[in-house]
Protein backbone atom coordinates (compact mmCIF):
# COMPACT_ATOMS: atom_id res chain seq x y z
CA UNK A 1 0.00 0.00 0.00
CA UNK A 2 1.22 3.51 -0.76
CA UNK A 3 0.59 6.91 0.85
CA UNK A 4 0.39 10.35 -0.67
CA UNK A 5 2.24 13.31 0.81
CA UNK A 6 1.39 16.82 -0.40
CA UNK A 7 3.87 19.70 -0.33
CA UNK A 8 3.99 23.26 -1.63
CA UNK A 9 7.32 24.05 -3.27
CA UNK A 10 8.84 27.21 -1.75
CA UNK A 11 11.74 27.51 -4.20
CA UNK A 12 10.04 30.23 -6.29
CA UNK A 13 6.85 32.34 -6.12
CA UNK A 14 4.86 29.92 -8.31
CA UNK A 15 4.40 27.63 -5.30
CA UNK A 16 3.68 24.42 -7.19
CA UNK A 17 1.56 21.87 -5.34
CA UNK A 18 3.60 18.69 -5.32
CA UNK A 19 2.31 15.20 -4.56
CA UNK A 20 4.75 12.53 -3.49
CA UNK A 21 3.72 8.90 -3.49
CA UNK A 22 5.45 6.89 -0.75
CA UNK A 23 5.68 3.14 -0.35
CA UNK A 24 4.82 1.55 3.01
CA UNK A 25 8.56 1.65 3.80
CA UNK A 26 8.58 5.42 3.02
CA UNK A 27 10.43 5.01 -0.25
CA UNK A 28 9.58 7.68 -2.84
CA UNK A 29 7.64 6.05 -5.69
CA UNK A 30 6.69 9.15 -7.70
CA UNK A 31 6.74 12.94 -7.57
CA UNK A 32 4.20 14.95 -9.60
CA UNK A 33 2.98 18.55 -9.75
CA UNK A 34 6.37 20.28 -9.93
CA UNK A 35 6.87 22.49 -12.99
CA UNK A 36 10.67 22.26 -12.89
CA UNK A 37 13.44 19.98 -11.53
CA UNK A 38 13.99 22.23 -8.49
CA UNK A 39 10.60 21.10 -7.22
CA UNK A 40 11.59 17.45 -7.34
CA UNK A 41 14.82 18.21 -5.50
CA UNK A 42 12.89 20.24 -2.91
CA UNK A 43 10.39 17.39 -2.36
CA UNK A 44 13.18 14.80 -1.98
CA UNK A 45 15.08 17.02 0.51
CA UNK A 46 11.90 17.81 2.42
CA UNK A 47 11.10 14.13 2.88
CA UNK A 48 14.61 12.72 3.28
CA UNK A 49 16.60 15.54 4.92
CA UNK A 50 14.45 18.61 5.66
CA UNK A 51 16.37 21.85 6.21
CA UNK A 52 15.46 25.25 7.63
CA UNK A 53 17.12 28.60 8.15
CA UNK A 54 17.46 28.92 11.94
CA UNK A 55 16.56 32.32 13.43
CA UNK A 56 17.09 33.03 17.11
CA UNK A 57 19.09 35.38 19.36
CA UNK A 58 22.41 35.38 21.20
CA UNK A 59 23.34 36.98 24.52
CA UNK A 60 25.39 40.18 24.29
CA UNK A 61 27.92 41.42 26.82
CA UNK A 62 28.26 45.18 27.38
CA UNK A 63 25.73 46.02 24.67
CA UNK A 64 22.93 48.57 24.45
CA UNK A 65 20.63 45.50 24.26
CA UNK A 66 21.03 42.18 26.10
CA UNK A 67 20.42 40.11 22.94
CA UNK A 68 21.25 40.25 19.24
CA UNK A 69 19.03 38.57 16.64
CA UNK A 70 20.84 36.03 14.47
CA UNK A 71 20.17 33.56 11.67
CA UNK A 72 22.06 30.92 9.77
CA UNK A 73 23.14 32.13 6.34
CA UNK A 74 21.82 28.95 4.75
CA UNK A 75 19.35 26.22 5.69
CA UNK A 76 20.57 23.63 8.21
CA UNK A 77 19.21 20.09 8.77
CA UNK A 78 16.08 20.25 10.93
CA UNK A 79 17.36 17.24 12.91
CA UNK A 80 20.33 19.35 14.14
CA UNK A 81 18.24 22.32 15.33
CA UNK A 82 17.90 21.18 18.99
CA UNK A 83 21.70 20.72 19.22
CA UNK A 84 22.31 24.05 17.49
CA UNK A 85 19.95 25.79 19.92
CA UNK A 86 21.85 24.25 22.86
CA UNK A 87 25.14 25.61 21.48
CA UNK A 88 23.64 29.04 20.73
CA UNK A 89 22.08 29.31 24.21
CA UNK A 90 25.59 29.02 25.70
CA UNK A 91 27.06 31.70 23.41
CA UNK A 92 27.90 35.21 24.57
CA UNK A 93 29.25 37.86 22.24
CA UNK A 94 30.86 41.14 23.14
CA UNK A 95 29.37 44.39 21.79
CA UNK A 96 29.70 46.19 19.43
CA UNK A 97 28.20 43.85 16.83
CA UNK A 98 27.57 44.93 13.25
CA UNK A 99 24.50 43.73 11.38
CA UNK A 100 25.73 41.06 8.94
CA UNK A 101 28.82 40.10 10.93
CA UNK A 102 29.57 36.39 11.28
CA UNK A 103 29.39 35.37 14.95
CA UNK A 104 30.15 31.66 14.42
CA UNK A 105 31.63 30.16 11.25
CA UNK A 106 30.46 26.70 10.14
CA UNK A 107 28.28 26.28 13.22
CA UNK A 108 28.42 22.62 14.36
CA UNK A 109 29.98 21.64 11.05
CA UNK A 110 26.78 22.38 9.12
CA UNK A 111 28.58 24.58 6.59
CA UNK A 112 26.34 27.48 7.65
CA UNK A 113 27.57 30.59 9.45
CA UNK A 114 25.65 32.24 12.28
CA UNK A 115 25.16 35.87 11.28
CA UNK A 116 23.90 38.90 13.26
CA UNK A 117 20.74 40.41 11.79
CA UNK A 118 20.93 43.69 13.69
CA UNK A 119 23.54 46.09 15.00
CA UNK A 120 24.11 46.28 18.75
CA UNK A 121 26.33 49.14 19.90
CA UNK A 122 28.37 49.13 23.07
CA UNK A 123 26.48 50.36 26.15
CA UNK A 124 27.43 53.86 27.26
CA UNK A 125 29.03 54.32 30.65
S1 LIG B 1 8.62 23.36 -8.87
FE2 LIG B 1 9.86 24.89 -9.94
S3 LIG B 1 8.34 26.26 -10.79
FE4 LIG B 1 7.30 25.11 -9.21
S5 LIG B 1 7.46 26.36 -7.34
FE6 LIG B 1 9.17 24.92 -7.36
S7 LIG B 1 10.86 26.06 -8.29
FE8 LIG B 1 8.95 27.12 -8.81
**CATH code at position 75:** 3.10.530.10
Confidence of residue 103 (pLDDT cuts 50, 70, 90): very high
Identify whether residues 75 and 105 lie together within a single domain: yes
Tens digit of each residue's pLDDT (9 = 90 or more) over 41-75: 999 999 998 999 999 999 999 999 999 999 999 99
Predicted TM-score of the model (pTM)? 0.79
| CA–CA dist 40, 22 (Å, integer) | 14
**Mean pLDDT, residues 4-17:** 96
> Does residue 125 sit within a domain?
no
Residue 64 DSSP SS3: coil
Give the pLDDT score at 124: 86
> Does residue 11 sit within a domain?
yes
| CA–CA dist 122, 55 (Å, integer) | 23
Sign (positive/negative) of CA torsion 93, 94, 98, 102? negative
| CA–CA dist 42, 9 (Å, integer) | 7
Is the Cβ atom of 14 under 6 angstroms away from ligand 1?
yes
Q: Which of 8, 16, 31, 37 to mutate to test the pocket of ligand 1 (most atoms within 8 A of CB)?
A: 16
Is the Cβ atom of 8 under 6 angstroms away from ligand 1?
no
Identify whether residues 64 and 107 lie together within a single domain: yes
Task: Provide the domain limits for residue 88.
Answer: 55-116
Dist. CA 87 → ligand 1 center (Å)? 34
Give the pLDDT score at 56: 98
**Of 51, 13, 52, 50, the residue nearest 35 (C-alpha):** 13
Identify whether residues 10 and 34 lie together within a single domain: yes
Identify whether residues 28 and 81 lie together within a single domain: no
**Of 55, 65, 57, the residue nearest 96 (C-alpha):** 65
pLDDT at 125 over 80: no
| CA–CA dist 40, 34 (Å, integer) | 6
Q: Report which ligand 1 atom has the smallest distance to the Cα of 40.
A: 1
Q: Domains in the chain: how many in total?
A: 2
Amino acid sequence: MSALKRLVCVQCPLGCKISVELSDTNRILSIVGNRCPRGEEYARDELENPKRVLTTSVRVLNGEYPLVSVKTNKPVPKSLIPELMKTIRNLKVEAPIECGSVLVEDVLGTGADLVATRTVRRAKG
